[in-house]
Homo-oligomer: A and B are copies of this chain.
């Protein structure tokens, strides 16, 4: 017996990509549930019916968009490849870069956020996110250990635990909560002070 699968035609890969791109934009604009299939189709230059020819249900499209988001849109802002030689600089680049990006593209981080909540009830999504977080956690740990070897970060720190703290810090930061003015100004500087290998003169 044939599985209750979608019709098997090869489809146009180009149209698929166009729909995923339009879906990403719509979800960044209106959120995961707020994005309307009609808008997405319209933005891709087709009708809803044709959208459903490529993605039988909205959930299929959402899945494809989130997968695309993780693989294409999420790694870039992290700058995991930046300045590998200088771990502290890489850390700073990542944090300030993300803060700026979160101001410019808040919808992107709202999408990441909705994804995290959705992952609680979706094993596939959770697995994808876990892989991504693992890579991120590992990269930050590597940066910290490199800086420890250079004597620029306290050698007694548990780099894994600190990496976790930094990830939490960044995840909270990109939600851009309404903190008192200037609360973020000395953040990066202060993080460096906390991690620094030697006590300042005081």
Q: Which of A16-24, A40-48, A58-66, A164-172 contacts B (4 or more CB under 8 A)?
A: A164-172
Q: Are A134 and B33 touching (Cβ within 8 A)?
A: no
Q: A-side binding surface: helix, strand, loop or mixed?
A: helix
Nearest CB on B from A171, distance (A): 3
Range for the number of chain A residues in contact with chain B: 35 or more
Whole-angstrom distance between the alpha carbons of A137 and B177 in the complex?
A: 12
Q: Which of A49-57, A82-90, A155-163 contacts B (4 or more CB under 8 A)?
A: A155-163
Whole-angstrom distance between the alpha carbons of A190 and B183 in the complex?
A: 23
Q: Are A180 and B33 touching (Cβ within 8 A)?
A: no
Our pick among B165, B190, B202 for the contact of A190 (Cβ within 8 Å) is B165
Nearest 8 CB-CB pairs, A to B?
A171-B172, A168-B172, A172-B172, A161-B190, A161-B186, A130-B178, A164-B183, A168-B173
